[in-house]
Amino acid sequence: MRPGGAPLRRTDVARGSRGAGFTLLEVLVALVIIGVALAAAMRGAMSLTNAADETRMKLLATLTAENRLLELRLARQRLDIGQSTADCEQGGITFACEQAIKSTPNPFFRRIEMRVFIDSANGHRQLAEMMSVLPTNQ
Calculate the alpha carbon distances from 90 to 16, 66, 84, 116, 131 in Å. Answer: 71, 11, 19, 11, 19
What CATH number does the domain containing 87 carry? 3.30.1300.30
Number of H helices, E strands in the chain: 2, 4
Q: Does residue 1 belong to any structural domain of this protein? A: no
Q: Does residue 2 belong to any structural domain of this protein? A: no
Q: Does residue 19 belong to any structural domain of this protein? A: yes
Least confident interval from 45-49, 52-56, 113-117, 124-128: 45-49
Query: Which residue in 99, 116, 114 sits closest to 58, CA to CA?
Result: 116
Q: Give the C-alpha separation, 46 to 29, whole Å.
A: 26
The tens digit of pLDDT for each residue in 3-35 reads 666 666 655 555 555 567 889 999 999 999 999
Q: Does residue 5 belong to any structural domain of this protein? A: no
Q: Give the C-alpha separation, 113 to 94, whole Å.
A: 19
Mean pLDDT of 105-123: 88
Domain count of the fold of the chain? 1
What are the phi and psi torsion angles at 46 (to 5°)?
-65, -35
How many other C-beta atoms can be found within 10 angstroms of the C-beta atom of residue 63? 15
The model's pTM: 0.65
Domain encompassing residue 81: 10-135
